Structure 1
Amino acid sequence: MSTVFYYRNGCHLCEELAAVLFRGWPEQAERIDWRDVDADSAWREEYGLRVPVLLADDELVCELRPDLQRLSRYFGDPVNSL
């Protein structure tokens, strides 16, 4: 599975979703392609106002806030309580 996380440095919502990923699904979080939207103009245009955005195989998993049901659907049950 290809998983991409679009974020912005200093974004508290991005930090919140990243923390949920690393706590609940640490192995999957290590394999995520982390992309700072400010590093690429196309990413900034597409996702800049929507970060954080998590895609799995190009399908939207989460946008703005963690969606624990969708995360579990894609990654399985979390290994730690959330």
Structure 2
Amino acid sequence: MITLTLYTTLGCHLCSQLEAILRTLCAEDYRLERVEISEDDALVERYGVRIPVLVADDGAELDRGFEVERLVGWLEARGWLNDAEWRKLQRSLEGPEPGHARPAEMRNGRRYLG
């Protein structure tokens, strides 16, 4: 099991987004330790504009890990990327294939495109 540290702050929606993506894409069992930066001036100085920051056991940091491609590269470099889940996520981000768009629907006399 690997240990990851997440530098975060209360109500950080980007941190929540990172955690959700990490749950999907990390192939390794991990323990996530959350560090609240607002309680320490030095941590606010270091991480305040960079959160969420994910840190591996070896000290390697990833800031802006909520950006999927950055997280994928970071996980892949360590051999922790779940390739099957990444391919599935890529397909969902690409949207429907051409010619497979949802059909238009009628609601209250108005036509809405799919």
The reply to whether TM is greater than 0.5 is: yes
Letter in 2 for 1:72: E
Count of aligned residue pairs for this structure pair: 79
Distance 2:50 2:23 in 1: 21
CA radius of gyration, larger in: 2
Q: CA deviation at 1:44?
A: 1.3
Match of 1:35 in 2: 35
Q: CA deviation at 1:3?
A: 2.6
Q: Which structure has greater helix proportion?
A: 1
Normalising to structure 2: TM-score of the pair? 0.57
Equivalent positions of 1:43-82 (< 5 A) are 43-56=43-56, 57-60=58-61, 62-64=62-64, 65-66=66-67, 67=70, 68-78=72-82, 81=85, 82=89
* Structure 2, gaps ≥5 residues long: 90-114
Distance 1:19 1:44 in 2: 24
* Structure 1, gaps ≥5 residues long: none
Q: Secondary structure at the match of 2:29?
A: helix
Q: Runs of at least 4 residues of structure 1 off by over 3 A?
A: none
Give the % identical residues.
29
Distance 1:17 1:75 in 2: 18
Q: Which has the higher contact order (CA 8 A, sep 6+)?
A: 1
Distance change in 2, residues 1:42/1:10 (3 Å): same
Normalising to structure 1: TM-score of the pair? 0.74
